[in-house]
């Protein structure tokens, strides 16, 4: 693929990250001494060969536009899609389908990871799936004794088990044909899209990843990102 394009979702209010997002949109919170999380994402995309990115903006979008501009100083052409009302994860993408190539990347504007964004998109195209989701294994410790009950009887017991789940990283490979059936201007969440595809028998693909990933959605995650960044800088920003 010669035309690598991305859509970055940067319109949320970041309510879970308050008080950091009281005056700043979440993609503009600073990370280490490298600028903002959005700076890092754009530089990563440019390094992986992406030539253009559309920022879907809403809350405090004018500030994002003023900081990022046309993206030329980050090595990637940036344009904008204004989200006047919240449209969910995929709704903003539906509204700009006519501006996108057949296959493109969609990602949250607050994801800190060293995943190869171009490889995700290439995997999506090769899979011929309607949607590809970058997935990560997360383990959850249940701090209780867990009982399995059947017909009023305890049939199994586990003391404080650790459960393992595949979760979405907020990075997706998508195709125009997948979203063409949905009307523009209406909310469309990632959950709704996945359920709809499954009901239609159009199975999404998984791009499993076990490298570094952090969703900067809560103050604890944000503090961790800043604490770890100097040690992980070369990994997160290859090529300088």
CA gap 96, 87 in Å, rounded: 12
- Is the separation of the CB atoms in 160 and 144 below 8 Å? yes
pLDDT < 50 stretches in the chain? none
pTM over 0.85: yes
Cα 24 to Cα 17, 108, 156, distances in angstroms: 10, 16, 49
Q: Which residues of 166-188 are buried (b: 16+ CB within 10 A; e: fewer)?
A: eebbbbbbbbeebbeebeeeeeb
- What structural domains does the chain harbor? 5-135+166-236 (3.90.550.10)
Phi, psi of 107, rounded to the nearest 5 degrees: -150, 150
Nearest to 97 by CA among 45, 58, 56, 129: 56
Rg, Å, the chain Cα set: 19
pLDDT at position 239, please? Answer: 74
148 phi and psi, to 5 degrees? -105, 120
Q: Which residues contact 87 (CB under 8 A, 6 or more apart)?
A: 11, 94, 95, 185, 186, 187, 188
Q: What pLDDT is stored for residue 178 in this prediction?
A: 97
Instruction: Please tell me the predicted confidence (pLDDT) of residue 15.
Output: 53
Spatial contact of 157 and 145, defined as CB atoms under 8 Å apart: yes
Structure tokens at 35: 């600028």
């Amino acid at each position: 693929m010669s035309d690598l394009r991305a859509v970055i979702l940067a319109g949320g209010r970041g309510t879970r990250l308050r008080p950091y997002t009281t005056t700043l949109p979440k993609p503009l919170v600073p990370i280490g001494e490298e600028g903002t999380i959005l700076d890092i994402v754009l530089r990563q995309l440019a390094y992986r060969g992406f030539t253009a990115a559309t920022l879907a903006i809403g809350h405090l979008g004018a500030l994002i536009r003023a900081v990022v501009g046309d993206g030329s100083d980050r090595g990637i052409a940036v344009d904008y899609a204004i989200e006047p009302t919240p449209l969910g994860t995929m709704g903003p993408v539906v509204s700009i389908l006519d501006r996108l190539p057949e296959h493109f990347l969609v990602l949250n504007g607050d994801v800190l990871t060293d995943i190869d964004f171009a490889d995700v998109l290439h995997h999506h195209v090769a899979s011929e799936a309607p949607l590809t989701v970058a997935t990560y294994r997360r383990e959850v410790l249940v701090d209780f004794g867990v009982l399995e009950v059947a017909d009023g009887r305890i049939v199994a017991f586990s003391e404080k088990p650790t459960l393992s789940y595949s979760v979405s990283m907020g990075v997706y490979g998508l195709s125009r044909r997948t979203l063409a059936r949905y009307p523009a201007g209406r909310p469309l969440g990632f959950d709704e899209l996945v359920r709809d595809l499954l009901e239609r028998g159009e199975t999404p693909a998984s791009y499993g990843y076990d490298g570094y990933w952090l969703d900067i959605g809560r103050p604890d995650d944000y503090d961790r990102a800043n604490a770890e960044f100097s040690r992980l800088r070369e990994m997160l920003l290859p090529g300088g």
